[in-house]
Amino acid sequence: MVNIGANTSGPPAVRTPVTISWTAVIAGTICGTGVALVLDTFGAAIGLAVSSTAPTWRDASFALAVLSGLYLILTAVLAYGCGAYLAGRVGARFESLAEEREDRDGVLGLLVWGLMTLAAALMLVIGSAGLSRLAAPSGGSSGSATSVAGESIIAFDLDKLFRSSGRSNQNPNAYVRAEAARILLTISSHSGMLAEDRNYLVALVEKTAGIPAAEASARVNTVADNAKQDINRARNSGVITAFMVAAAALLGALAAWIAAGIGGRQRDGIEGSWAPEWRAPSIRF
């Protein structure tokens, strides 16, 4: 007689109904969110956090954008891992199969990962609401002055575009500045800045800054070249950041699954092993 998979040390393990310890999940989420907040605050202090209030420095260097993304991945792995470990450590203990126990703890880690991700998305939405002025109408005497989404990318270029020569005391109002920004932002499009738009911008600079037409034309050319470089750098930085955010989310899910399994094994008294407790089948004749 051959009996494969029999457990000679005691009664066979029984598959128990699937249950979720939401107390452990919530506790892990709180812990992980706290760790993420601390690491993000530290990153903001040294200029590496994606949520920094002054992220435009990343547009100046490809290496700095990559470094910021790597820090984001490190933060995600540590935060998700700590939260999931706590959830697995304080979760309910079950007398079940080893592989089933690993799956249960892994699910706890993924739930912590999901709740933390939703919390991060909610905070991002709340933070973005404070920056809505970039695309929302702003008050002005004309009643139609508006800011443009993306204007902050070329803000310094706009400053140089409307610098007065001293012969004019007229400063560009919000609408004139936004209008110039809309024209400059077309420089990165497929067709580029149209000739009529460029001529209009030259006339606008000439009138507002009080400079000759030739000087206004040269200024528009220089500022347009600089704006195109700034827009391309910002676009590349955005692509890198988006890729790093996705990588951090995926690696965070993996870290949460592994960390919850480690916490669960320590909870059940199975220490000193990073691998699942696979039981070799026994053969009895």
pLDDT tens digits, residue range 32-48?
999 998 998 888 888 77
* DSSP β-bridge partners for residue 283: 4
pLDDT of residue 149: 66
Mean pLDDT of 88-98: 73
| Encoded tokens for 150 | 């993306």
Give the whole-angstrom CA distance, residue 242 versus residue 64: 15
Name the DSSP class of 283: E
Q: Which residues contact 149 (CB under 8 A, 6 or more apart)?
A: 134, 135
What are the sequence ranges of the domains in the chain? 3-7+20-134+235-284, 151-232
Candidates 25, 245, 241, 244; CA nearest to 114 is 25
Mean pLDDT across the chain: 76
Is the pLDDT confidence value at 86 over 90? yes
pTM over 0.75: no
Confidence of residue 18 (pLDDT cuts 50, 70, 90): low
Give the whole-angstrom CA distance, residue 35 versus residue 31: 6
For every residue of 15-48, DSSP letters joined together read PPPP---HHHHHHHHHHHHHHHHHHHHHHHHHT-
Q: Which residues contact 7 (CB under 8 A, 6 or more apart)?
A: 13, 279, 282
pLDDT tens digits, residue range 64-75?
778 888 899 999
pLDDT of residue 166: 58
Give the whole-angstrom CA distance, residue 43 versus residue 35: 12
137-175 burial, b at 16+ Cβ within 10 Å, e below that, comes to eeeeeeeebbbbebbbbbeebbeebbeeeeeeeeebebb
